[in-house]
Structure 1
């Protein structure tokens, strides 16, 4: 499916069946007043899904997966765009919609507040979980493996995936805009939301009844180039590595302050490719060429089983216990005994935490 106009997209939405409706939790790092966020929210609602937004009260880009809670029960300054006045609770509903919430914390903290406070109190039928988490679309792309620890959009998604919820992080190439300044079908925020919806909807439509949208522990990183003429660019399967960037600290002699820039030429470390299909193009390269990148990642950071990993383990072979080490071999009984002494450390903390 390729949608060439807003009218075509609206017509497609009219065909959506509420029988396929999902409970979708949304977040971002740009704030709950984001034009991109609100436009995608409207499209998902119009498609028949039940959608709840819990997003930062202030702009929180670059916070990654850090969890920083509000230190006060009330806002000490007005929220972004003065949507919520100073003195209001640090968590609450936006005046424009009962299903759009703000929290004065980082993006990942917003995800946890959504799951552990908003949903249990106000949406008990959700059973403290969601069928899908969608973050964004972000203002600006989030490309390459480095942003997996830098981007608040991805960080909020990671938080959801860690709670066993399928997550899709979406980033676009348009500039920041308050939702109340989005006017007309050709506005960049509208176009970004249309492409975002097309990708999200494709995942939903191709999921069988009773099946999760993504396998357990899986997530998707989507990046959208600058959009022109209201058309959807080619959508391409990609990998995180491949011409990807990482940061350098740039010092300003006049101000005495640091800012960031990208390493030039690109660093080899961030582009070392070990996992997945190595024939896929890098998402940075694809978006630079005008395509929409779709990369699949997992929560499992464990290195692949290869010679390099064996060499790393061999360096401490004289210390480690177990198979392949020169120390005392462990047994399941030994591990269980140690776990009993330490207390439960590996139990799940999904819904009902």
Structure 2
């Protein structure tokens, strides 16, 4: 599906049917050229937009919610926009609608929802959360758990906010170095806006942009001009990559590489429409991929899942560890505090 012949044509169309409250985040930092260009486009379209993004580059953090243990910045922020010693959370000196926080992208989502908004924008509730556009694509289920862009997105989805992750194929650039509309960051923002605008315009006023628990992952190929690439409905799996540890004998250290041949595990498709092309293949062929995901990670109700549970069926039905599954649906949660993965991590 193509929305228009050129990105310029998309932008020249009438403004969106209804103005939304939009929360912007990313993992590249609040000074990202891609982020600021999308911010400008959304503002120009009449949306009320706030940025709450990391004070420094935070790629590869996934959904890790890591909060600063210091009340102030121990070093200057990205591109020296904010000096060392400033509060760990605050605004850009030139735009009070752009906030930074010295934490991971997911932490920025939570700081936005639980500190910035209730304290400084009471009554302001996000209708939509956007993360990106990222520098570089975020393709496939392995990167879904690795990417800070996706982490910021599913953190918002977990809090009942419709959210879209946006990733492009351009290099990192400070926002103040984007000086014309043909800059790769500007092109990435225009393509991102074209997809976001379509989601908004196809939503009835007052309705949710996405169903509860749903998010969207958008990936954009390298752009050379204002031509809008084909936009393709896709899935996370399918020709997707996963990592291999590469050992450097000389340095005695490891780095990552892409496993060859492609791993079957990361490409096993059980959910959704397995006939759709994988987003990795779509972008490799010059298209913009649009994949839907849900926050429900449970295995589907298929024979394979039954096979897994059957292996421990005797524990479910008898013995000291036995239980009646239906009973757990009605019992209140235990009063005692239960240890979580985070408790273990902090020990």
So what's the TM-score if we normalise by structure 1? Answer: 0.91
Structure 1 match to 2:271:
275
SS of residue matched to 1:209: coil
Aligned residues: 338
SS class of match (1:236):
strand
- 2:237 aligned with 1:238, yes or no? no
Gaps of 5+ in 2: 339-347
Alignment of 1:1-353 (within 5 A): 2-5=3-6, 7-12=8-13, 15-16=14-15, 20-126=18-124, 129-321=125-317, 330=324, 336-337=330-331, 339=333, 341-342=335-336
**RMSD across aligned positions (CA):** 2.1
Q: Separation in 1 of the partners of 2:127 and 2:283?
A: 28
Q: Does the 8 Å CA contact 1:318/1:326 hold for their aligned counterparts? A: no
| Cα pair 2:187 2:225 within 8 Å, conserved | no
Question: 2:286 & 2:7 partners in 1: Cα distance?
Answer: 20
C-alpha change, 1:332 and 1:274, in structure 2 (3 Å) is closer
- Report Cα offsets for 1:2-45 as digits up to 9, x if no partner: 44556434422xx215x600000010000000000000010001
1:253, CA displacement in angstroms? 2.1
Q: Which moved more, 1:223-232 or 1:112-121?
A: 223-232
Distance 1:93-1:321 versus aligned 2 partners, 3 A rule: farther
Gapped runs of 5+ residues in structure 1?
A: 345-353
The 1:140/1:338 distance shift into structure 2, 3 A limit, reads same
Q: Give, in angstroms, the shift of residue 47 of structure 1.
A: 0.5
After superposition, give the CA deviation of every residue in 1:68-98 in whole Å (9 maximum; x if it has no partner): 1111111111111111100000000011211
When residues 285 and 10 of structure 1 are mapped into structure 2, their CA distance, relative to the original with a 3 A threshold, is closer
TM-score after normalising by structure 2: 0.92
Instruction: Indicate if the aligned counterparts of 1:132 and 1:213 stay in contact, CA closer than 8 A.
Output: yes
